[in-house]
Structure 1
Amino acid sequence: MIKLQSSIEGKKGNFGFVREMFNSYGCSFCSNFEYDQGKFDTILWREGGETIYLRIPFNVLDGALDYANAYIEFGTPYVIKHVVNIGLDYDENSLMTATTGLTQFQEPLDTDGYIRDKSNWKKAGEEKIEQVLNSMNGLLSS
């Protein structure tokens, strides 16, 4: 994991507005969230079973994430690499998965894989954050 220094940290805003802006830049709201915290996610690079993500976490200061008017504050963004097994899954749950469809995806082989050329990914993450921030034209508070 590579922690990024960005002016987004500590910024506050309306979740609904922020989500729309991030979506317009290819950043999605992660569906795995708590009502008091979440993160925006975008893929910086993908090849085979390796994916490098930019993640921008936030906490809810007022409201809950199932409402667009929740008021959020951004935390420290980071870049992370996931490595997944793109082959067939032959574990004890494979038959149940095939017959019931209950488990759709395999667990990542490594949820925090080694990242080569960290300075490149640090720069790419910081540029993406600044691109989104610049489009908000000062509509976030400090």
Structure 2
Amino acid sequence: MIKLQSGIEGKQAYFGVVREMFNSFGCSFCSNFEYDQGKFDTVLWREDGETIYLRIPFNVLDGALDHSNAFIEFGTPYVIKHVVNIGLDYDENSLLTTTAGLNQFQEPLDNDGYLRDKSHWKKAGEETIDHVLNSMNELLSS
């Protein structure tokens, strides 16, 4: 994992407003969330079973994430690599997987895989955040 220093850290906004803006940049709201915290993420690179994500976490200061009017504050963004099993999963659920199709709940082979050329991914993450932050600043100032 590569933590990124960015001006987005500490910014506050309403969830519904920034969610639409993040979506316009290809960043999606992670469906695996708690009502008091969540994250936006986008794929920086994907090949075979390896995916490199930019993740921008946030905490809810007021309200809950099932409402657009939840007031949030952004935390420290980071770049992370996930390596998933793209073959068959040979465990106690293998028969179910074979009869039902792809098992979407397979455990990743590596949640925090090794990142080669960290400076490249750091720059890619920072550039994406800068684009989002510029739009966010324009949106919040209008």
Establish whether residue 19 from structure 1 lines up as the match of residue 9 from structure 2.
no
Give distance in 2, aligned partners of 1:101 and 1:62: 41
Name the structure 2 match of 1:50.
Answer: 50
2:137 alignment partner, SS class: coil
Aligned letter for 1:78?
A: Y
Identity over aligned pairs, percent: 84
**Deviation at 1:124?**
0.4
Name the structure 2 match of 1:73.
Answer: 73
How much is the aligned-residue C-alpha RMSD, in angstroms? 1.7
Give distance in 1, aligned partners of 2:136 and 2:102: 40
Q: Which runs of 4+ in 1 moved over 3 A?
A: 97-103, 137-141
**Deviation at 1:96?**
2.5
More helix by share: 2
Name the structure 1 match of 2:130.
Answer: 130
Give distance in 1, aligned partners of 2:124 and 2:55: 12
Give distance in 1, aligned partners of 2:103 and 2:90: 13
**Deviation at 1:46?**
0.5
When residues 84 and 123 of structure 1 are mapped into structure 2, their CA distance, relative to the original with a 3 A threshold, is: same
Aligned letter for 1:65?
A: L
Aligned letter for 2:117?
A: D
Give distance in 1, aligned partners of 2:57 and 2:101: 31
Give distance in 2, aligned partners of 1:87 and 1:103: 10
Give distance in 2, aligned partners of 1:2 and 1:116: 11
TM (normalized to structure 1)? 0.93
**Deviation at 1:90?**
1.9
Name the structure 2 match of 1:29.
Answer: 29
Aligned letter for 2:35?
A: Y
Q: How many residues align?
A: 141
Consecutive unaligned residues of structure 2, counting only runs of 5 or more, are none
Q: Is the 8 A contact 1:44 1:54 kept in 2?
A: yes
Aligned letter for 2:129?
A: I
Aligned letter for 2:60?
A: V
Establish whether residue 5 from structure 1 lines up as the match of residue 5 from structure 2.
yes
Q: Is the 8 A contact 1:96 1:102 kept in 2?
A: no
Of the structure 1 ranges 54-63 and 86-95, higher mean CA displacement relative to structure 2 is found in 86-95
Aligned letter for 1:43?
A: V
Of the structure 1 ranges 132-141 and 32-41, higher mean CA displacement relative to structure 2 is found in 132-141
Name the structure 2 match of 1:86.
Answer: 86
